[in-house]
Every structure is written in structure tokens, then in C-alpha cells.
DNA sequence: AAACGTTTGTGCACGTTTTCACAAAGCCAG
DNA sequence: CTGGCTTTGTGAAAACGTGCACAAACGTTT
């Protein structure tokens, strides 16, 4: 009776890398690669080979020593572990520029996340069709979510409305939220939240740019004081 | 002569949170809040107060014990540390759906990252104007970058063209890249790369959804075997 | 000017993630 | 079926990130 079922807990850092491996493996499979070593996969994913092996080891012992991993089988196992064996329809809240772009973007549904519904609070948006889906009113979100058994919601409203949107999603029964607004949202315990913030990414890059600029200036100063070894010019390792 | 200049190295995890604090502090300043405690800021940012204090301590000792932090001063210090005291124009490669959406999005320039240029390889796109900027041909990227002294590039091409786009950007003199395609790009040492991948975020959420589903099923099984304490129903802590 | 309540700044312990390094396991050639 | 080559899977160490807990510092009140 011992349920030998998965129930391994996979480290969050690994979960974030599995989708990257998955995509690469899918591409390799497409071009006829049947087998791949941790070294090759690591190269393609831009990470350390030992890390790849440890990551994959959380799925089970699916490699063959001296040979590598069967690409097709590995794709199946990762998909299984990530819960990608079936589609996860999503509901988008906010049918503005971003909401419409997302709804119209196929790379969304192609990856198993079809747009199951779009809602907006603005009556002038309600009724229009974007990406083949008719925009419904925010008030109907519960019907939309329950009709297609949706558990993932995407927030694409202005930042000021993000908390409202999150509350509506949770009330409608959604248990995972991807937030595209810059606003931090509060959700009840047990709800997962992912965040995509353009400005944050750019600001991180700006920080590294500035460091480089400062370091370069520092180097010049050192150079002037005769301390910089030629050929060893400083460049922040940040890639 | 000892250059007492910054040159503190700030942990990457902290760098990723500073933009969040910055936005919140800006909002608080707007609504007239002059002073804030680490506790309050932590609450608004959804993190631990000790973490906030440690993060801010990397900037220097700018708080006042028993009082808190001066909001305006802190905004200034974070902006300074992140290198946001001046604008960082960006060049967008790829004027398709995403490229046009980004170019037309004001929250971009508003945060100090104006679109300094857009290039595309498709002649039918060249010459059109999006977001007030005229699309130039990829071949002219070097002129575009150098004319405005751009150091940040954004890749919004199809995934298959991402490496090409990265190579072009690096050749043109860009030293930081934000990659919106799902493709992993290789860049020379010393170039910073940020990545925004929608599918990865959704797949991470799917994983948590699936775990919840499995755990719930597990609970039912436990319940059936009399092991589930009522009121203690399992819900994965993932928020 | 002392006593008090508040909040910072940070040492320390703990948890997580990365990396190293190597035995175990497989394939293949002879 | 043995020996040599390759590559996995994983302990153990190192590096990194988080959160607790508390002394030090500050403003206020008496
Ligand atoms: N446009 C971009 O390229 C881009 C890029 C990155 C991030 N973002 C972020 O995405 C969000 C949306 O941007 P946008 O350009 O699409 O804005 P937008 O103004 O075009 O669209 C917002 C939509 O949300 C609707 N809305 C407002 N309150 C609502 C509510 N409570 N419930 C449901 N719908 C509501 C509005 O009616 C509108 O249709 C913003 O937070 C923005 O910062 C946009
Ligand atoms: N549209 C979305 O909502 C969305 C969301 C997330 C991610 N993405 C990703 O963003 C990328 C772009 O998506 P899109 O919908 O804008 O695609 P798109 O096809 O509309 O636009 C791509 C543009 O890039 C140009 N291009 C192609 N090769 C080029 C090259 N070598 N140099 C310069 N330009 C080149 C094309 O001419 C085209 O104009 C894709 O990788 C996609 O996966 C898109």
C-alpha cells in the first residue's frame, strides 16, 4: 500500500530551470537529437553541468551512465513533473494594450496555456473579441473561471487596480496569479503569485551598467596611479 | 587621496529588491509620507522587515533609530545606487507585436528608459513610426546606438533570431541586454543579460498548481485512512 | 538629565543553492 | 569477459541568502 508516488519536493531554483531545459530538449528533439549529455544540455542552457545533473536527479534516475539522457523520455518526465501533461487555461484581467497583446499571442496557447477568458471593467471593452476570445465584464469572472475550471489568472490592469483584480481572481476561485503590474499584491495563504516587472529588469541592468562605468573610471584612476596591470582591464563579470 | 567612493558590492538578491522599494517609496512620497519604518516598508513590499533593513544597510547608514527612514532621502540614495540619476535610452530589436507594444508603452520612458531607437530586419517595417520613434533597418543599429550613446538593448525578435540580434547589439556596442524571447543567448564576458520569459513563469505556476492538486488528493487519501486532522486541510504554502 | 519606548544596524545561526570531486555504472573493443 | 573510456548520480564543502534577536542610538516625556 505504500504510495511510492512522487512527493519529492523539488527546490524552487530547480523548478525555475526545468522549463528552460524543457524548451531546449524540445528543440533538440525536433532536429533529430535522440540523446544528450548533461554537458551538452548545460552548454545550451548556459549553466553548469553538475547543476543540470542535480536538477534532473530530482525527477528520478533517468540517465544512462556513459551515454547521457534520452531526449524524448526526458521531455516527457519534465512535462510530467511540471504538470504540463494537460492544458492550463488562463483568465486575463484587463483587456488593454498588454492584455490584448497577450491574448493575441500564440506562443501562449502553444505552450499549453490557452486563453480561457478575458475580463475588463470598462464597458466599452466588453463584447469586443481579442485573440478569438470575447471580452466579458469583470462581474462575470466567476462564471468564466468556473465554466472552464480555470486555476491561473493573469493581471494586466493598471497598477492601481492590481489588488482589486487579485481579489476578484481569488474570489472567483483562481489559485495562481501572474502579475504584470508593478504593484505588489497581497493574497491569502496558499495562493501562488508570479511577477513580471519590466522596470525592475531594466533597473537591474542599469545597476550593472553603472558599476561597469564606475569600475572603468576606477581603473583609469588606478591606471593613472600606475596600479593597473596592462591587459587586465577590469570588466564586471555579470553575464 | 584614498577614494572612499562606494565600491561596496551589493548582493544580487538585494539589487533585485531595491527597485521594488524604490517604487513604493516614490508612491509614499507622492501621498505625503515623509518618513517610513522598515516595518512599514516591509509590509508594503511583502517582505521581512529585517531583510529590508539589511538591504538598505548596503546603501549606507541612512536611517534614524527610533524614527525610521526619510522617504525622500532614501529615494535619492536608491536611485543613486541603481544608477538612475540619469536616463538610460534603450534600443529595441524587432518591431513586431511585442516591440511595438513596448515602444508605445509609456511606463518605459517614465521610469528613465526612453526608447532611443527601434530596428527591424524587415523592410516593410522600416520607416514606420511606433511610439514616436521611426523604425530603422538592422544594418543601421550601430549608428542608432552610437548617436544616442545607448548601452541597453531589448530583444523582441522571434526566438530563432535572438542570437543574431544579440550579436548585432554587442557589435554595435551595447553592454546590457534584456531578452524577451524564450531562446537562451550567448554573449561575451562582461555583457549583462536579463531575461523575461512568460512561458517559464506560467510553467512554474503550473508546477505549484499540480503540487496542490496532488497534495489535495494525498489529503483525501489520508482522510480516507483516518489520518487527516479536520481543519488542517493541506494547502501548499507558496505565496 | 534620567528613564522610557521605538527602531535601526548587524552578529549569528540556519536554510538553500551551487560547485567540486569521485565512485558506480554503463558501453564498446578486442 | 576484461579493460578502458565515458558519463551519471550524489555526498560533502563552499557560497549565498534569510530571519532572529539584541545592543546601540535616537526622540520624547517627566
Ligand atoms: N503595455 C505594455 O507594453 C506593458 C509592458 C509591461 C507592463 N505593463 C503593465 O501592464 C499593465 C497594463 O498595461 P496596459 O498598457 O495594457 O494598460 P491599459 O490602460 O491599456 O489597459 C488596462 C486595462 O485594464 C482595465 N481595467 C482597469 N481596472 C480594472 C479592474 N479593476 N478590473 C479589470 N480590468 C480593469 C482597463 O479598462 C483597461 O482596459 C500596467 O500595469 C502596465 O504597467 C504594460
Ligand atoms: N507578443 C507577445 O505578447 C509576446 C509575449 C511574450 C513574449 N513574446 C516573445 O517576443 C518575441 C517577439 O514576439 P512578437 O509577437 O513581437 O513577434 P513578431 O513576429 O510580431 O515580431 C518579430 C519582429 O522581429 C523582426 N525580426 C526578425 N528577425 C530579426 C532580426 N534578425 N533582427 C531584427 N529584427 C528581426 C521581424 O521582422 C518582426 O517584425 C518572440 O520571441 C515571442 O516569443 C511575445
Q: What DSSP assignment string belongs to A184-212?
A: -----TT-EEEE--HHHHHHHHHHHHHHH
Atom of ligand 2 nearest to the CA of B183: 41
A83-103 residue pLDDT tens:
999 999 999 999 999 999 999
Give the pLDDT of residue A194.
97
Q: What is the pTM of this model?
A: 0.91
Q: Domain range for residue B226?
A: 205-239
Q: Does B203 touch chain A (CB under 8 A)?
A: yes
Beta strands B35-36; B68-70: pairing state:
antiparallel
Shared domain for B22 and B113, answered yes or no, is: no
Instruction: Provide mean pLDDT across the span A184-205.
Output: 96
Q: Give the distance from residue B129's alpha carbon to the nearest chain A alpha carbon, in angstroms.
A: 17
- Give me the phi and psi of A87, to 5 degrees please: -70, 150
As ranges, strand D nucleotides with an atom below 7 A of a protein CB are 5-11, 16-21, 24-27
Q: Is residue A5 part of a domain?
A: no
Strand (E) positions, chain B? 35-36, 63-64, 68-70, 90-93, 115-120, 129-130, 133-137, 152-155, 176-179, 192-195
Taking the C-alpha atoms of residue B232 and residue B228, their distance in angstroms, rounded to an integer, is 7
Last residue of a domain, one of B33, B59, B82: B82
Q: With a cut of 50, say whether residue B237 has pLDDT above it.
A: no
Q: Does B16 touch chain A (CB under 8 A)?
A: yes
**DSSP annotation of A179:** E
Q: Tell me if A60 sits within 8 A of B174, measured CB to CB.
A: no
Q: Does B18 touch chain A (CB under 8 A)?
A: yes
Q: Is residue A4 part of a domain?
A: no
User: Cα dist. A15→B112, B185, B201 in Å?
Assistant: 33, 20, 10
Taking the C-alpha atoms of residue B1 and residue A64, their distance in angstroms, rounded to an integer, is 61
Give the pLDDT of residue B213.
87
Taking the C-alpha atoms of residue A131 and residue A113, their distance in angstroms, rounded to an integer, is 13
pLDDT classification of B215: cutoffs 50, 70, 90: confident
Strand (E) positions, A90-226? 90-93, 115-120, 129-130, 133-137, 152-155, 176-179, 192-195
Q: Tell me if A49 sits within 8 A of A108, measured CB to CB.
A: no
B43-96 residue pLDDT tens:
999 999 999 999 999 999 999 999 999 999 999 999 999 999 999 999 999 999
Q: Give the distance from residue B139's alpha carbon to the nearest chain A alpha carbon, in angstroms.
A: 25
Q: Is residue B211 part of a domain?
A: yes
CB-CB neighbours of A25 under 10 Å:
25
B129-162 residue pLDDT tens:
999 999 999 999 999 999 999 999 999 999 999 9
- Is B128 touching ligand 2 by the criterion CB < 6 Å? no
Mutate which: B27, B28, B202, vs A, most A CBs within 10 A? B202
Q: Is residue B26 part of a domain?
A: yes
Last residue of a domain, one of A51, A66, A82: A82
- Count the domains in chain A: 3
Taking the C-alpha atoms of residue A191 and residue A178, their distance in angstroms, rounded to an integer, is 11
Above pLDDT 90, what percent of chain A? 84
How many CA atoms does the CB half-sphere of B125 hold within 13 Å? Answer: 19
B8 touches strand C (CB under 7 A): no
Give the pLDDT of residue A218.
67
Instruction: Give me the CATH number covering residue B121.
Output: 3.40.50.720
Q: With a cut of 70, say whether residue B238 has pLDDT above it.
A: no
Q: With a cut of 80, say whether residue B42 has pLDDT above it.
A: yes
Q: Is residue B2 part of a domain?
A: no
Q: Is residue A231 part of a domain?
A: yes
B34 touches strand C (CB under 7 A): no
Encode burial over B173-189: b for 16+ CB neighbours within 10 A, e otherwise. ebbbbbbbbbbbbebee
B37 touches strand C (CB under 7 A): yes
User: Cα dist. A226→A199, A219, A221, A229 in Å?
Assistant: 40, 10, 9, 8
Q: Is residue B169 part of a domain?
A: yes
CB-CB neighbours of A98 under 10 Å:
18
| A209/C8 CA-to-C1' distance in Å | 31
pLDDT classification of A77: cutoffs 50, 70, 90: very high
Q: With a cut of 50, say whether residue B224 has pLDDT above it.
A: no
B107:A196 CB<8 A: no
Shared domain for B125 and B173, answered yes or no, is: yes
Shared domain for B146 and B233, answered yes or no, is: no
Give the pLDDT of residue B52.
98
B203:A111 CB<8 A: yes
Shared domain for A165 and A146, answered yes or no, is: yes
Q: Is residue A3 part of a domain?
A: no
Task: Give me the residue from B24, B44, B238 closest to A192, CB to CB.
Answer: B238
Give the pLDDT of residue B5.
35
Shared domain for A101 and A184, answered yes or no, is: yes
Q: With a cut of 90, say whether residue A220 has pLDDT above it.
A: no
Q: With a cut of 80, say whether residue B1 has pLDDT above it.
A: no
Taking the C-alpha atoms of residue B202 and residue A111, their distance in angstroms, rounded to an integer, is 9
| A64/D10 CA-to-C1' distance in Å | 15
Last residue of a domain, one of B28, B52, B82: B82
Task: Give me the residue from A45, A151, A186 closest to B184, CB to CB.
Answer: A45
B237 touches strand D (CB under 7 A): no
A6-54 residue pLDDT tens:
457 899 999 999 999 999 999 999 999 999 999 999 999 999 999 999 9
Tell me how many degrees the CA angle A222-A227-A230 measures, rounded to the nearest 5. 100
Q: With a cut of 50, say whether residue B227 has pLDDT above it.
A: no
Which of B216, B210, B208 is closest to B237 using CA atoms?
B208
Shared domain for B96 and B192, answered yes or no, is: yes
> In this complex, which residue's CA is closest to the C1' atom of nucleotide D17?
B13
Instruction: Give me the CATH number covering residue B25.
Output: 1.10.10.10
Shared domain for B126 and B185, answered yes or no, is: yes
Which of B76, B84, B12, B74 is closest to B37 using CA atoms?
B74
Q: Of A101, A156, A159, A202, which is best to mutate to test ligand 1, by the most ligand atoms within 8 angstroms of its C-beta?
A: A156
Shared domain for A130 and A149, answered yes or no, is: yes
> In this complex, which residue's CA is closest to the C1' atom of nucleotide C27?
A66
Identify which has the larger pLDDT, B102 or A218. B102
Which of B146, B17, B83 is closest to A213 using CA atoms?
B83
Amino acid at each position: 500500500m505504500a504510495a511510492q508516488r512522487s512527493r519529492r519536493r523539488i527546490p524552487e531554483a530547480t523548478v525555475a530551470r526545468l522549463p528552460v531545459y524543457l524548451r531546449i530538449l524540445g528543440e533538440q528533439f525536433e532536429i533529430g537529437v535522440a540523446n544528450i549529455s548533461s554537458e551538452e544540455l548545460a552548454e545550451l542552457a548556459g549553466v553548469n553541468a553538475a547543476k543540470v545533473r542535480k536538477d534532473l536527479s530530482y525527477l528520478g534516475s533517468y540517465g544512462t551512465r556513459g551515454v547521457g539522457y534520452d531526449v524524448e523520455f526526458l521531455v516527457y518526465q519534465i512535462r510530467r513533473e511540471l504538470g504540463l501533461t494537460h492544458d492550463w487555461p488562463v483568465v486575463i484581467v484587463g483587456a488593454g494594450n498588454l492584455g490584448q497583446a497577450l491574448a493575441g499571442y500564440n506562443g501562449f496557447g502553444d505552450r499549453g496555456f490557452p486563453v480561457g477568458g478575458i475580463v475588463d471593467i470598462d464597458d466599452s471593452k466588453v463584447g469586443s473579441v481579442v485573440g478569438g476570445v470575447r471580452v466579458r465584464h469583470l462581474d462575470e469572472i466567476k462564471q468564466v473561471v468556473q465554466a472552464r475550471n480555470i486555476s491561473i489568472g493573469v493581471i494586466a490592469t493598471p497598477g492601481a487596480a492590481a489588488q482589486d483584480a487579485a481579489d476578484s481572481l481569488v474570489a472567483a476561485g483562481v489559485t495562481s496569479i501572474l502579475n504584470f503590474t508593478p504593484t505588489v499584491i497581497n493574497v491569502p495563504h496558499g495562493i501562488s503569485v508570479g511577477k513580471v516587472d519590466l522596470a525592475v529588469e531594466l533597473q537591474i541592468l542599469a545597476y550593472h551598467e553603472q558599476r561597469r562605468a564606475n569600475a572603468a573610471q576606477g581603473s583609469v584612476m588606478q591606471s593613472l596611479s600606475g596600479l593597473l596591470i596592462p591587459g587586465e582591464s577590469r570588466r564586471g563579470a555579470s553575464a
